[in-house]
């Protein structure tokens, strides 16, 4: 089935998805904001600034014409999390009712703490909203390296439609009904990726990274479940899968930012050097606020917050984590075991 699809946002991820779906034979409009940049992409058939070395198939049309979204059966939003509401407001009078909207940003709305699918549903009540998440760097997807992702929606038929549109020999798509867990997993892993980057920047080794990732997924799961997510989701692609790739890859902006912070560079300079949005910075603040609001213990997130927003020394933050009071690894299991023992 060939469909008309629009990708709104011509950064690295939007370009990679456009290339992948264009290779599937779909007619894809890659919609950007800056005429001069889109003209260059059209001329070179390559997004030199954001995804060099990846060439657009003839089925992908770079454009600034937002009106092209009107005729699209599916619109993929590839904008930063803090731009999602503004983008939806801009598009609400353009999109046709029933057009499936796919959100690819991994973050939460500042201030409201809302998940991005909630934001989109508020602004686009007549459009089914689907969330795309999982371990997927644009640099690899654009080069057709085998990748698996997950799509989640309250509307199962919309999720399956997106699965059909995106699935290819190099891009495997699973569905998951747990929208809450998928979104929180995709957002919170960026916090841990910043922390593993900081550890690398401090010169620590694989042991440290493994500890941060393992204990990181534990606290992500605690908060995610408290907010309504399914614990199994955090053991899947949107949880452990995305955490692994974001914490270990050279392509990860969050990890790169963390490395620079660990090397002693100030946050403002780090963000300027990365040159693209580092979602983990905003998400750290939101995750920290949510953990306090819901009474969830998140020591790694707490130390990340102190480093980012209270000028704490990264080495001292690591010491604070290592010197915490004694704990069972799996607190919930230990509590159940102790309760059973006391009943014997």
Which residues belong to the active site? 189
Asked if residues 252 and 137 have their Cβ atoms less than 8 Å apart, the reply is yes
| Phi/psi of residue 336, nearest 5 degrees | -65, -45
CA 336/CA 165 separation, integer angstroms: 45
Give CA separation, 274 vs 16, 267, 268, 306, 318, in Å. Answer: 19, 11, 10, 21, 24
Of 187, 192, 319, whose CA–CA distance to 257 is shortest?
192
The DSSP string of 3-54 is -EEEEE--SHHHHHHHHHHHHTT-EEEEE-S-HHHHHHHHHHTEETTTEEEE
CA 22/CA 13 separation, integer angstroms: 14
Tokens of 81: 């999390």
């Amino acid at each position: 089935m060939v469909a008309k699809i629009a990708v709104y946002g011509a950064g690295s991820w939007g370009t990679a998805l456009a290339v992948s779906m264009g290779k599937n034979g779909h007619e894809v409009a890659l919609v950007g904001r800056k005429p001069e940049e889109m003209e260059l992409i059209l001329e070179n058939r390559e997004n030199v600034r954001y995804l060099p070395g990846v060439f657009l198939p003839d089925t992908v049309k770079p454009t600034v014409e937002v009106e092209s979204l009107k005729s699209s059966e599916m619109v993929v939003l590839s904008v930063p999390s803090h731009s999602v509401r503004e983008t939806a407001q801009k598009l609400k009078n353009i999109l046709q009712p029933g057009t499936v909207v796919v959100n690819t940003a991994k973050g939460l709305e500042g201030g409201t703490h809302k998940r991005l699918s909630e934001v989109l549903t508020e602004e686009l009540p007549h459009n089914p909203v689907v969330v795309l998440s999982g371990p997927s760097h644009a640099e690899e997807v654009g080069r057709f390296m085998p990748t698996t992702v997950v799509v989640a929606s309250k509307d199962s038929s919309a999720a399956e439609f997106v699965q059909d549109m995106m699935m290819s020999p190099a891009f495997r798509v699973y569905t998951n009904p747990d929208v809450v867990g998928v979104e929180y997993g995709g957002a919170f892993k960026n916090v841990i990726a910043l922390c593993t980057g900081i550890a690398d920047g401090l010169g620590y080794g694989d042991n440290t990274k493994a500890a941060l990732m393992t204990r990181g997924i534990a606290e992500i799961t605690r908060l995610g479940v408290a907010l309504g997510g399914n614990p199994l989701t955090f053991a899947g692609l949107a949880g452990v899968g995305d955490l692994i790739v974001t914490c270990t890859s050279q392509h990860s902006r969050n990890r790169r930012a963390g490395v620079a912070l660990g090397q002693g560079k100030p946050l403002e300079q780090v963000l300027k050097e990365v040159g693209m949005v580092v979602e983990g910075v905003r998400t750290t603040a939101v995750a920290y606020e949510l953990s306090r609001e819901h009474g969830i213990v998140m020591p790694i997130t707490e130390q990340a917050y102190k480093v980012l927003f209270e000028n704490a020394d990264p080495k001292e933050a690591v010491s604070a984590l290592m010197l915490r009071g004694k704990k069972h690894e799996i607190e919930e299991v230990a509590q159940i075991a102790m309760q059973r023992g006391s009943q014997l």
